[in-house]
Amino acid sequence: MAESANAVEATLEQLLPAPHGLHARVHEAMRYAVFAGGKRLRPFLVLQSARLFGVDSAQALRTAAAIEVLHTYSLVHDDLPCMDDDALRRGRPTTHIAFDEATAVLAGDALLTIAFEILADAPTHPSAEVRCRLVARLAAAAGSNGMIGGQMIDMQAPDRAFGADDIIHLQRLKTGQLFEFACEAGAILGEAGDADRERLRLYARDMGLVFQITDDLLDVLSTAEKTGKAVGKDKDQGKATLVSILGVDGAHAEATKIARRAAETLSPYGAAAAELRELPLFLLDRDS
């Protein structure tokens, strides 16, 4: 993961505009948000899934960069006072604190749009049809029936009584849809068939749920120093999570079951998918 993160950051350095002109401030805010660190998990999924189908590394890296800038846009907007009102992200002030709210909104908008610029550009893949598939799939994953829809549900969550199925639905939209794109992108780039794309989607759904459950566990058990962001917010806001419904031990047991199922989904790829199969189990013990 560290190796892939370094490669993706080098690609991001090339693709993000250097600050220039009278509008340099928005470039500075974009770079501040993107180069704040992080695990670069979604790019890792793109690169690993692309390896399964022999995709050119430069094409995979561009696609990985696109998902990372779009993910970063979502964090910048999620942290705004009108959303989650967070002052800390990845151990440092959030973008609207470091700059200002208007600049953060514009930086998020710019990161969202450059993601599609990267995917639509010819170096991402020689086939325009493949590039269109990537653009369409990411648009669906990030849109009103994907990540944005999940965020809408999440904003209403404190005022509603959610059961386990409702929480899983929320998480599959808000968090899981980008994971699904990241895994499916490798198959799209490799022009693989529907069976491969569906298999990777199923893996991503389970892996994303493991990620979210462990994130909710960190919100209960960890500290801001370890996670780099505020903790205890779900309880303070009255939001139901699988942890609040199942308890700490029950949620961890559920995550373990789902992680094993995710790993098994990729068994047809054998050793080629070793890192992807290990990832859900690795997430069970994360502390940030």
Least confident range from 69-78, 181-190, 240-249: namely: 240-249
pLDDT of residue 232: 58
pLDDT of residue 91: 87
Q: 3-class DSSP state for residue 88? A: strand
pLDDT of residue 24: 98
Find the angle CA(94)-CA(96)-CA(97) to the nearest 5 degrees. 65
Q: Which domain holds residue 247?
A: 2-283
- Our count of domains for the chain comes to 1
> Is position 44 within any domain?
yes
> Is position 73 within any domain?
yes
> Token pair of 250, please?
């029950």
Q: Is the pLDDT of residue 21 over 90?
A: yes
User: Can you tell me the mean pLDDT for 226-232?
Assistant: 57
CATH code assigned at 80: 1.10.600.10
Distance (Å, whole) CA 253 – CA 247: 10
- 200 touches 55 (CB < 8 A): no
> Is position 186 within any domain?
yes
Distance (Å, whole) CA 1 – CA 7: 10
> Is position 107 within any domain?
yes
> Is position 47 within any domain?
yes
> Is position 37 within any domain?
yes
pLDDT in tens, 28-59: 999 999 999 888 999 999 999 999 999 999 99
pLDDT of residue 236: 66
Average pLDDT, the chain: 93
pTM (two decimals) = 0.93
pLDDT of residue 30: 98
Of residues 273 and 224, more confidently modeled:
273
Percentage with pLDDT > 90 across the chain: 82
> Is position 77 within any domain?
yes
Distance (Å, whole) CA 182 – CA 62: 12
> Is position 288 within any domain?
no
